[in-house]
Structure 1
Amino acid sequence: MKTLSKKDIKQLNERIGREVFSKKDLLQEECGRYYRNKELVFFTLPQGRLAPSLKFLLKDLYLPKVTVDMGAVKFVVGGADIMRPGVTACDEGVMQGDLVVVVDETHGKPLAVGEALMGSEELLAATSGKVVKNLHYVGDDLWNA
């Protein structure tokens, strides 16, 4: 694993689009995965975009939320894409292609990180179909990294 310099940390914050890490943080990178104190915090998607890990989101829930009913939970944590019938709410302002965190309606806990397949207005108006592509979920390889 490569330990990131202060300059690398600054560039990482710029890629994320917000000040997530301080220059005092001990960050390491390996194969497009970024670790703080040996815990996965961000990973690189195939198109080069960075996404936060669910363990990071447990501490800093900054992504827009898509809320699912409890009947959808087992499918989401099994890796399924999020289907419109299971969605109970969506934060305003979500645009197609945005990263979102999928949470359960009872506890509000992060279940998955996904990519919105449509904007929030279109998503809420839809009655069927896939609305979020599941990129990382509780129990997957990234969760266990």
Structure 2
Amino acid sequence: MALFKKFSKEEVSNLSQVKSSVARGIRAAICETYPYLEQTDIIETLIPKKESVYVGKCGHAQLCVVNNTILFFQERDGPWLPTLRILHQYPEMMKRLRTDKGAIKFVLSGANIMCPGLTHADATIHDEGDVGGAVAIYACDKEQAMAVGVLKMSTADIRSVNKGIGVENMHHLNDGLWKMPKLD
């Protein structure tokens, strides 16, 4: 289920400025996961080298915060994932999967994305990905992403197995993180 279903400022603990070496490490990890950000210098806009970077804890997740704005989050040892607001600004940064119409209401209520919702005739697997990879989830006929998730199966397995959970939904439109983009 989605990580930020019930999320509020009070749930963010230990919000603290990190050393520049830790900030560099976070930037490097984000650039490794999303090479597009580094190639286009967008990372300089998002996380400028001279800007203070804060990390907050929220349950099993870490939040990367710059100028009181939550930019990325990471659950346990998973990849750093962008908030939907960042993804909407830079949609080219992530691999994309598109669900059929039937999956939309479930995804927007925080459900994981099942394989049949991604292999349906109306659905599209735009980019190939491996287990643990970060993906943007789009609704059929929509231009903006509705969710951010992590692949539970490779896209090849999603096609061939075609049952079970294909993508773990980490953050979706109208969840707590969407409703609270700033921490001030």
Length-normalised TM-score, structure 1: 0.84
- CA–CA separation in structure 1 for the residues paired with 2:89 and 2:176: 20
Paired residue secondary structure (1:142): helix
Runs of 4+ in 1 over 4 A off after TM superposition: none
The answer to whether structure 1 residue 129 and structure 2 residue 164 are counterparts is yes
Contact (CA 8 Å) 1:9, 1:22: kept in 2 or not? no
- Separation of aligned partners in 2, 1:64 and 1:26: 29
Residues 1:54 and 2:84 aligned together: yes
The alignment yields a C-alpha RMSD, in angstroms, of: 2.1
- Structure 1 unaligned blocks of 5 or more: none
The structure that is helix-richer by fraction is: 2
| 1:17-96 correspondence to structure 2 within 5 Å | 17=32, 18=35, 19=38, 20=43, 21-31=47-57, 32-47=62-77, 49-61=79-91, 62-87=93-118, 88-96=123-131
Shift of the alpha carbon at 1:104?
1.1
Q: Deviations over 1:13-45 (max 9, x none)?
A: 112224323314453322221123322111120
What residue number does 2:3 align with? none
Q: Secondary structure at the match of 1:105?
A: coil
Which of the pair is proportionally richer in strand? 1
- Unmatched tracts of structure 2, length 5 or more: 1-14
The number of residues matched between the two structures is 145
Q: Distance in 1 between matches of 2:145 and 2:52?
A: 25
Percent identity of equivalent pairs = 25
Q: Deviations over 1:35-93 (max 9, x none)?
A: 23322111120235422211111112211111012221111010101012222111333
Q: Which has the higher contact order (CA 8 A, sep 6+)?
A: 2
